[in-house]
Structure 1
Amino acid sequence: MSTDGRKRAAITPGAVVDIVLKQDQRTGKTTRGVVQHILTKSPDHPHGIKVRLQDGQVGRVKRIWSGTDGEG
């Protein structure tokens, strides 16, 4: 099961998420990773909450994976 990434409360450090990087906004290509820091301060954002992944990439969350769905 997955959840959309527009609500800050739904995202926690360590969560597996799909983000859209700045350079991929036109195509909508997503990158999967693990949240290190939540960068958006507001409780929600129409384009997705901005996060930094553990590998240093920054983008807006499009999907939050729960359980083992995001792995593999």
Structure 2
Amino acid sequence: MDTKRDGRQRRNITTGDSVRIVLKKDQRTGKLTDGTVKDILTNSSYHPHGIKVRLADGQVGRVQECLGDA
């Protein structure tokens, strides 16, 4: 299993996955936040900046890296 799956493809992300996201406030710096996917908010199968998700702690951002099952 590869350790980094593409966060721009919706098929790579499932509820409960560990991911690294970039929050809206961190887009300029590129700072990543680790968390577990609670909800997938992007409906399309692909997004060039990353699929938007809500983490278990309520933070919302775009997936940069999919780390796999939590």
Q: TM-score range by the shorter chain?
A: over 0.9
Number of aligned residue pairs: give it: 68
TM-score (norm 1): 0.90
Q: Deviations over 1:7-65 (max 9, x none)?
A: 00110000000000000000000000000000000000000000000000000000000
TM-score (norm 2): 0.93
Rounded Cα–Cα distance in structure 1 between residues aligned with 2:9 and 2:53: 12
Q: Name segments (4+ residues, structure 1) moved above 6 Å.
A: none
Q: CA RMSD in A?
A: 1.2
Give the gaps of 5 or more residues in structure 2: none
Give the gaps of 5 or more residues in structure 1: none
Q: Which has the higher strand share?
A: 2
